[in-house]
Structure 1
Amino acid sequence: MAIGPSAVERWLDLSTEELRAQVKQLVAARLPGDHSVWQAIRRHPALVPRIRGVLSGLAASAAGSKDEAMQKVWISKARSALDQEYVAPVKAARKPVVKEEPVPEPEPVIELKEPEPQQKQPHKAIPTMLFQEPS
């Protein structure tokens, strides 16, 4: 049986051993969490716990084998793909195109005033400071 979104629909009717073989193939395929197969699996709330059980069985059977570390990495990736929330695709509603007419901006009123001459202030003298040495 092939792994695909349409095949996942038939997984609900499989026996535990047949489902285990399919999940083993799915884990070995290392598909990303947003792949259509994982999305199809997350759509079926009854299938997700069955697959979790199969993944636990695969992790237990991989214990002690020479590929145990790699199998556990793949299984944990599959578990994280199951943990992602299923979001139903939402069709974006088309917004009507509104033609905006440019609003004429009023011309700014500029008042011309003669600048007042600024008087320069003389610099303030800085007082000298005397420091005493401690006695």
Structure 2
Amino acid sequence: MAIGPSAVERWLDLSTEELRAQVKQLVSARLPGDHAVWQAVRRHPALVPRVRGVLSGLAATAAGSKDEAMQKVWISKARAALDQPVAAPVKTARKPVAKEVPAEEPEPVIELREPEPQEPRQPPRAVPTMLFQEPG
């Protein structure tokens, strides 16, 4: 089975092993996250968790192999591609409607006044020391 947006439609009917082979081929292709195949996968809410499960299985299988580091990088990129938001459908553009722009009012003039002089602060007074004596 080929990898393409139309092939993704049939992935819902595949067995786990067949889906695993397709996802492994998709991961190895290292397609960017905005590729049509990833967009097709993200459009199917039932397929996304199945693909995540297959990716987890691929990561577990790659553990301990000589290509483990490379496989984990590819798998993490595939997971990131699944996490991208689904693009909203593009609407046809309509002609912009000219809006009336209100006449700009002159900005009010703000007068700057000098701050009023404050009374000079007096230094704090020293509090006399109080001695308490015990009764008796």
TM-score, scaled to structure 1: 0.70
Deviation for aligned residue 1:97:
7.7
Query: Partner residue of 2:74?
Result: 74
Q: Distance in 1 between matches of 2:88 and 2:3?
A: 21
Q: Distance in 2 between matches of 1:3 and 1:88?
A: 23
TM-score, scaled to structure 2: 0.69
Deviation for aligned residue 1:90:
1.5
Report whether the alignment pairs 1:10 with 2:1: no
Gaps spanning 5+ residues in structure 2: where? 99-136
Query: Partner residue of 2:35?
Result: 35
Local SS of the residue matching 1:93: coil
Identical aligned pairs, as a percentage? 89
Gaps spanning 5+ residues in structure 1: where? 99-135
RMSD: 1.2
Local SS of the residue matching 1:51: helix
Deviates more, 1:86-95 or 1:74-83: 86-95
The structure with the largest alpha-carbon Rg is: 1
After TM superposition, where is structure 1 displaced by more than 3 Å over at least 4 residues in a row? Answer: none
Q: Distance in 1 between matches of 2:61 and 2:96?
A: 58
AA at the equivalent of 2:69 = A
Deviation for aligned residue 1:20:
0.1
Q: Distance in 2 between matches of 1:57 and 1:38?
A: 19
Q: How many residues align?
A: 98
Deviation for aligned residue 1:91:
1.9
Deviation for aligned residue 1:8:
0.1
Local SS of the residue matching 1:3: coil
